[in-house]
Amino acid sequence: MKNDVLLDALEDASIPTLLMCLAHITGDDVWLKDPYLPKRDVALIADEAGGLPDIVVADVRAAMAQVMQDLASGQRQMSDAPDTQRLSQMMSVCVGETVGSEYVPMFMEDLHFVDRDVSWSQASDTSAARITDSKKDFSVLIVGAGISGIGAAIALDRLGISWTLVEKNTSLGGTWFENNYPEAGVDTPNHFYSYSYARRTDWPGYFSKRDDVLGYLEDVAEQFGISDCIAFGTTVEEMTWNELRQVWNVVLHDAVGSRTVQASVVISATGQLNRPKKNVCVGNDTFEGDLFHSAEWRHDVDLYGKRVAVVGTGASAMQFLRTVASTAKSVTIFQRSPQWVIHNEHYHRDVSDGARWLLKNIPHYYEWYRFGLFWRFGDGLLKTLRRDPDWEHPGRSMNRHNDRHRQQMTAYIEDQLVGRPDLVAKSLPSYPPYGKRILVDNDWFKTIQKANVELVTAGVQQINEKGVIDSDGVSHDVDVIILATGFEAGKLLSPIKITGRSGALLSKTWDDDDPRAYLGITVPDFPNLFCLYGPNTNVAHGGSLFFQAECQLRYVTSCLVQMIQGGVGSIEVKRDVHDEYNERVDHEHSELVWTHPGMQNWYRNVKGRVFSPMPWRFVDYWQMTHDADLTQYHLTKR
């Protein structure tokens, strides 16, 4: 190890993370006491010094340099992994606040101190042989090769369960393959927005763009031997439960034609955001120019010198606007309602060479750095989104904490639009912060002040051959229309025709836009069908879909292992279990910001029910999904 490389890298270190590494490596409690206690920091990306004075920071860096030299020379050995009591102490010290004891088992897994995977019972050679025989007749069909589908294939491979993975696109990646509009990227830090078991230490940015995320998924699929086992260009047309054989009859369609296969289990990994919402404007087919959805970006359409209309102001528009405005002659944005926006100074920041070196070479640095992100981008926010019945301003915010968020975001918007009171009036929402998805500013406010950009606070009444007629009746002639209108999130698993045990269609059971499932995973009358990223599992208060996928796959594999070991042919969640769970979901949401009456959002269906976000803390959902209880299911023997 070159000492100058180490010392240079340590200049870029997160000091709270280094402190946890020192305590972890050495086992010495000195690093968990004054003067080494980081200050509490509520910022999404914490102060890298941890609020500590320069002299203490220098002491921590020097200590880590010595420890690394001692490890390299063999003068020091790694201490044992912390037990639960010590881990609880370390987590609380790391973030400068009390981390509840309920988080300890979850982070024992996420930090890789204990195995998080389900395993087979190996009580005897006889039982092992029976498991092997049972697996021979057990097959799983995975639908969709995005984050959840790739994770499902890896999880099944570990267990030696036979699987087939079909994907409608020509490549893997799901939404990260499909959404290739300009500046598409993540708004969750990459070191957290990734599989816990597939570290990437060389992310180029803290919030990387689409190509890097897609490249990560491709690398993971290659690393785990998944890439060559995916049937691309293959869609599922229909599925029918075969009660006699205890299998799903699945009609697949590819370039050759349609064929029927049978699967013991179907895992849907199609997600919530896989079908663009395009039929939102009357007259789409009459427009004489180019019209496309942001999720189906037309890279063959040159926007240079064109008059462009952008319909919608959500996350996609927030990301691509500045690129479009830098090229187009004019951009007219149709805003149905304004969005709350936060500033993140790290959003465009590259990860330094030194920080990458630390993530790769300092023992446990990656894990503890990820923990800090998990804490800040996870459960800390949810409690501030709950209704306070005694709060005196219920129209504008949920409680005093939520009102402070409002004040901070308002101040940011006003600061960005100094001298433009007209745009401030157009840009300030009236509903509580986080009622809709919070957006990260990608120079949106700078861009809407440009001379060639107009923000119209009206919806679209109609599209005609020349352009857009807004809801105020004003006509706007344009050359290109870009629909940034979101997705058919409520129409989960459409347009697949899925027929359950009783002969009922899943689309009818879900009333077209009211999907419900136990834990967001299983549905009565549809045996052996598991949904990943299903109803009420979206991470609207922060967090990472990778974490959600790993929780759900732990549950699904727990079900499958118990089925195979117990000689069970099918499981179907009991109606009362399913209904009671969804009653709890609805009750929780009645107290949370997404049911606030002063707004509309895509999280709710036409009847106002919240079907998309999860109302639980991540630790609660982790506990719910950790070990499947098959007494909650109707079981049919094989």
β-pairing verdict for 633-637 and 568-573: antiparallel
Give a yes or no: residue 112 inside a domain.
no
pLDDT tens-digit map of 331-348: 999 999 999 999 988 899
Cα distance between the two ends of the chain:
58
| Alpha helices by DSSP H, 542-615 | 545-566, 575-590
Q: Average pLDDT over the chain, rounded to whole?
A: 94
The string of pLDDT tens digits covering residues 136-191 is 789 999 999 999 999 999 999 999 999 999 999 999 999 999 999 999 999 999 99
299 & 236 share domain: no
Question: Using 50, 70 and 90 to split pLDDT, how confident is the model at 564?
Answer: very high
Quickly tell me which residue has 């998944």 as its tokens: 226
Confidence of residue 44 (pLDDT cuts 50, 70, 90): low
* pTM for the predicted model, two decimal places: 0.96
CB atoms within 10 A of CB 624: 16
Quick one: 141 and 248 in the same domain? yes
Number of domains making up the chain: 3
In DSSP notation, 410-448 reads: HHHHHHHTTT-HHHHHHH--SSPTTSS--EE-SSHHHHT
pLDDT at res. 145: 98
Q: What CATH number is associated with residue 293?
A: 3.50.50.60
User: Which among 625, 545, 628 has a CA at the least distance from the CA of 196?
Assistant: 545
Give dist(CA 431, CA 595) in Å, integer: 11
Beta bridge partners of 259: 252
Burial class (CB in 10 A: 0-12, 13-18, 19+), 51: middle
> Does residue 41 have a pLDDT over 90?
no
CB 444 within 8 A of CB 395: no
Q: Is the pLDDT of residue 126 over 60?
A: no
**Residue 256, both tokens:** 């050759």
Q: Does some domain include residue 86?
A: yes
**Is the model's pLDDT at 52 over the cut of 70?**
yes
Give the span between the Cα atoms of 540 and 596, in whole angstroms.
14
Q: What is the pLDDT of residues 455-513, one digit of tens each?
A: 999 989 999 999 999 999 999 999 999 999 999 999 999 889 999 999 999 999 999 89
Residue 514 has pLDDT above 70, yes or no: yes
Structural domain of residue 196, as residue ranges? 125-275+489-597+631-637
Is the per-residue pLDDT at 76 higher than 80? yes
Q: Is pLDDT of 125 > 60?
A: no
pLDDT of residue 598: 86
Question: Are 132 and 213 within one domain?
Answer: yes
What 3-state class would DSSP assign to 249? strand
Q: Which of 461, 483, 505 is the last residue of a domain?
A: 483
- Any residues with CB less than 8 A from the CB of 386 and at least 6 apart, and which? 398, 399, 591, 592, 593
Please indicate, yes or no, whether residues 213 and 292 belong to a single structural domain of this protein: no
List, for residues 281-309, the tens digit of each pLDDT value: 899 999 999 999 999 999 999 999 999 99
DSSP class of residue 241 equals E
Task: Among 452, 483, 514, identify where a domain stops.
Answer: 483
Q: Quote the crossing angle between the two packed helices 545-566 and 147-159, to the nearest 10°.
A: 30
Residue 395 structure tokens: 């129209």
- Say if residue 77 is in the same domain as residue 21: yes
Chain-centre distance of CA 435, in angstroms? 17
Q: Which residue has the tokens 């109707």?
A: 634
pLDDT, residue 1, reads 55
258 vs 494: CA distance, rounded Å: 18
Q: How many CA atoms lie within 13 A of 313 on its CB side?
A: 28
Does 382 fall in a domain? no
| Helix (H), strand (E) at residue 15 | helix 15-26
Residue 371 φ then ψ, to 5°: -60, -45
Residue 267 main-chain phi, psi, to 5 deg: -110, 115
Contact between 22 and 368 under an 8 Å Cβ cutoff? The reply is no
Instruction: Tell me which DSSP letter residue 124 carries.
Output: -
Same-domain check for residues 89 and 205: no
